[in-house]
A = this chain, B = another copy of it.
Amino acid sequence: MTRTGNKSRRALPKEVRKEQLIQATIKCIAKHGLSGITLALVTREAGLSMGIANLHFDSKEKLLLETLQHVTAEYAAGQAAILESEDFSSTGARITALLDFDFSPPVIEKNKLAVWFAFLGEAKSRPTYQRACSRQDSMAQMRITELFQLALDEAGDTAADAALLAAGYISLVDGLWLNALVDPRRLPWKKAYRVARHYLASAFAQHIALDKRGLDGM
């Protein structure tokens, strides 16, 4: 229940209400799953009335889609900031930043990951979801490949395949997120982080040290 003490209803700008409903939707998907979600649950979670979801989003389907886009856009923005920033002193620092970002608290937050995988699980049967998931991924994969190629060039490594390494990193992180989310006892977040770091360290030995213990704040 999110009600912050208000007893009387108040008119608020559309954007505030939409954000409020999207946050409630994220919580509800995490708690009840995509097939258990109802507008009654979402609006109750938001402390609002039944009809409000359709008022601001026209339909349940559009609310779900905007919720997915909200989550993916947030991740894409953070990642793009790292891939495009001018502030990194070295390629190794940039790759490390990418890794740390992928396991930072806002990214591995339980509810958001739950939303992400809930939609992915339905993606192949719903082209709309599939497009929302893939949209920015293609571009990210290209940029990560370029970054990895740069690291290989700096190391004089002509044998390794940057595209293969990038595809592997992306899939590895997806798999780690999924396993840590579903059963954190079998795969604790700290261990997941170390696995990903090890993957990068063995591909870019000159840029990334193996032993640095990160993620201590978890």
Which residues in A have some Cβ–Cβ distance to B below 8 Å? 29-36, 110, 114, 117-126, 130, 133-134, 137-138, 141, 164, 167-168, 170-176, 178-179, 181-183, 186-187, 191-192, 194-195, 198-199, 202-203
Contacts and interface: CB of A to CB of B under 8 A. Distances in A.
A212 B123 CA distance: 33
B170 A172 contact: no
18 contacts: A29-B125, A30-B125, A35-B122, A119-B121, A120-B121, A121-B122, A124-B182, A134-B186, A141-B186, A164-B194, A167-B187, A167-B192, A168-B195, A168-B198, A171-B187, A171-B195, A174-B175, A175-B178
A172 to B, nearest CB: 5
Contacts of A202: 202-203
- In this complex, the member of A110, A124, A182 whose beta carbon has the largest number of chain B beta carbons within 10 angstroms is A124
A118 B121 CA distance: 4
A175 B170 CA distance: 8
Q: Chain A: interface secondary structure?
A: helix
Nearest to A138: B186
Contact of A134 (B29, B120, B141, B183): B183
A31 B177 CA distance: 26
A125 B34 CA distance: 9
A121 to B, nearest CB: 2
Given A171-B172, A175-B174, A120 B182 contact: yes
A30 B120 contact: no
Given A122-B35, A174-B174, A167 B182 contact: no
Contact of A172 (B110, B123, B168): B168
Report, nearest first, the 5 A-B pairs whose CB atoms are least far apart.
Answer: A121-B121, A175-B175, A171-B175, A35-B35, A174-B175
